[in-house]
Amino acid sequence: MKVKRNFFWIFFLIMVVLNVFMRAIWLKDIISSNWYDFYSMFTLMILVILGYFRLKDVGMNGFLFLIPIFNLYWASLPSKNN
């Protein structure tokens, strides 16, 4: 599975905006802590999976996405041509 750079970053930005929105709703006690925790874990899992495949598309080991800060740099590299 290939994850292109544009798709990854659009998904990343949408998840950041949605997470800020969900956190604001959670802080106002509109949703319970369980729903917020479920949402956070679900989006984190999807982001890690997409990051894994994004680094594979770059030509690196996908598990390097688990290293903070560097993972965003590596995800911004152009795809490796096969």
Q: Where are the domains of the chain?
A: 5-75
Three-class secondary structure of residue 75 per DSSP? helix
In angstroms, the CA 70 to CA 35 distance is 30
The tens-digit pLDDT sequence of the chain (82 residues) is 788 889 999 999 999 999 899 888 888 888 888 888 888 899 999 999 999 999 999 999 989 999 988 888 988 889 887 5
Residues 73, 10, 64, 78: is their CA dihedral positive or negative?
Answer: negative
Residue 57, burial from CB neighbour count under 10 angstroms (0-12, 13-18, 19+): buried
What is the CB-side half-sphere exposure of residue 35 using CA atoms within 13 A?
9
Angle at 64 between CA 66 and CA 37, to 5 degrees: 15
The whole-number pLDDT of residue 25 equals: 87
